[in-house]
Amino acid sequence: MIVTRFAPSPNGPLHLGHAFSAIVAHDLAQGRSGNRGGRFLLRIEDIDGTRSRPDLAGEFRADLAWLGLEWEEVPAQSTRLGAYAEAAERLRSEGLLYPCRCTRAEIAAAAIKTGPDGPVYPGTCRGASFAADGEVAWRLDMAEALRRTGPLTWLDARAGEQDARPELLGDVVLVRKEAETPASYHLAVTIDDAADGVTLVTRGMDLFPATHIHRLLQELLGLPVPTWHHHPLLLDETGDKLAKRRGSPSLADRRRAGEEGCALADDLRAGRLPAGITLGEGLSERS
Ligand SMILES: [Zn+2]
C-alpha cells in the first residue's frame, strides 16, 4: 500500500505551490476518489520555534478540505522531540556527531565549496576539543559516516535509481543551536517518515539533494528505506520557486474570496496554471 504525506510548516499561509504538492501526494496514494487504496497523511512540521504559528495548522486543514482532499493527520513534529533527541544521542554515542560553535558568517567566510544548500561547512570544529555546553550545534561527521555505511543508493519514482552523494552537503547540522528547535530538518523528517510508515516520500524537486542525507541517516539509524517522488515545482516569471512573498494570494485568501477549490485543484492537475507561472524542475533551471 502506498503511503504518502504532505508536510507543511506553519511559518506562513499555504500558496499555490503547496496546493500542487498536496494534490500530487494525495493523488499518488488515493487517486481522485480514493480508488488507489493508499493513505495520504498530513504532518505539521512545527518545530521552527521562532517562526512557527500554531494558529496556521487549522487554516491548512481548511485549505486541504477546500481543495477537495481527504487525509489522515499524524502527530506534529513538536510531539516528537524525544525521538529526535534519542536518535541524536545514539549517533553521538557512536562518535558520528561533533559540536560546532561557528556562526553562519564564519562558515560563509571559511567555506571553500558551495553545495546544493549554499556554503559547505569547512569542518572547522571537527576534531577540536571544547566543552560542548552552552549554544552548540551538532554536526554529522560525514567522512566517518560514509566509511561506516559504504556506498548507498536510493530510488526516485521519476528520476530512477540514484547514487547517494551526501558528501555534496558536507558535515550537515543534525541538532541545531537554538534550544527551541533542537532537531534539524534532516533528522526530524527522516525519523517522522519512518514513524509514520511513509512508503513514498513526496515533495518538491528543491529537496532532491536533501534526500542524499536522508538516505544516509536511514542507514545509520536502521530505519526502513522508502521510495521518493520529487515533483516539479511551480516557478514564477524569473524561474524561482513560487513563494508567497511574490504577492500571489494565499490559498486562504482564495478560499475566503469564494473561489472554487475543487476547480482550482483540477486546473493544477491538468497543468492549467495562472499567467506567468510554469512547471519546472527548478534545480537545473536556476542560474
Ligand atoms: Zn564549527
Tell me the C-alpha distance between 84 and 37, whole Å: 31
> pTM of the full predicted structure?
0.93
Tell me, in angstroms, the distance from the centre of ligand 1 to residue 17's CA.
Answer: 35
C-alpha of residue 178 to centroid of ligand 1, in Å: 15
Q: What is the pLDDT of residue 239?
A: 79
Q: How far is the CA of 165 from the centre of ligand 1 (A)?
A: 22
pLDDT in tens, 11-25: 999 999 999 999 999
| Mean pLDDT in residue range 109-123 | 89
Mean of the per-residue pLDDT values for the chain? 91
pLDDT for 132: 67
Instruction: Please tell me the distance between residue 78's alpha carbon and the centre of ligand 1 in angstroms.
Output: 27
CA of 172 to the centre of ligand 1 (A): 11
Residue at grid coordinates 514513524:
195
Asked if pLDDT for residue 287 goes beyond 60, the answer is: no
Whole-number Å distance, alpha carbon 121 to ligand 1 midpoint, is 8
Residues 6+ apart with CB under 8 A from 133: none
Rounded distance from Cα 194 to ligand 1 centre (Å) = 30
Gap from CA of 13 to ligand 1 centroid (Å): 34
Distance 130 CA to ligand 1 centre (A): 11
Q: How far is the CA of 112 from the centre of ligand 1 (A)?
A: 14
How far is 90 from 109, CA to CA, in rounded Å?
32
SS3 per-residue string spanning 85-119: HHHHHHHHHCCCEEEECCCHHHHHHHCCCEECCEE
Task: Answer yes or no: is pLDDT of 8 > 60.
Answer: yes
- For the segment 160-175, what is each residue's pLDDT rounded down to a tens digit? 999 999 999 999 999 9
Report pLDDT digits (tens) over 179-229.
Answer: 767 799 999 999 999 999 999 999 999 999 999 999 999 999 999 999 999
Distance 117 CA to ligand 1 centre (A): 17
Q: What is the pLDDT of residue 20?
A: 96
Residue 127 confidence (pLDDT) above 70? yes
CA of 100 to the centre of ligand 1 (A): 4
Distance 122 CA to ligand 1 centre (A): 8
The SS3 assignment for 162 reads strand
- Contact present, 18 and 251 (Cβ < 8 Å): yes
Which whole-number Å values give the CA distances from 77 to 20, 158, 180, 190, 219, in the listed order? Answer: 22, 28, 12, 11, 21
Q: Residue 283's pLDDT is what?
A: 57
List pLDDT tens digits, range 51-82: 788 889 999 999 999 999 999 999 999 999 99
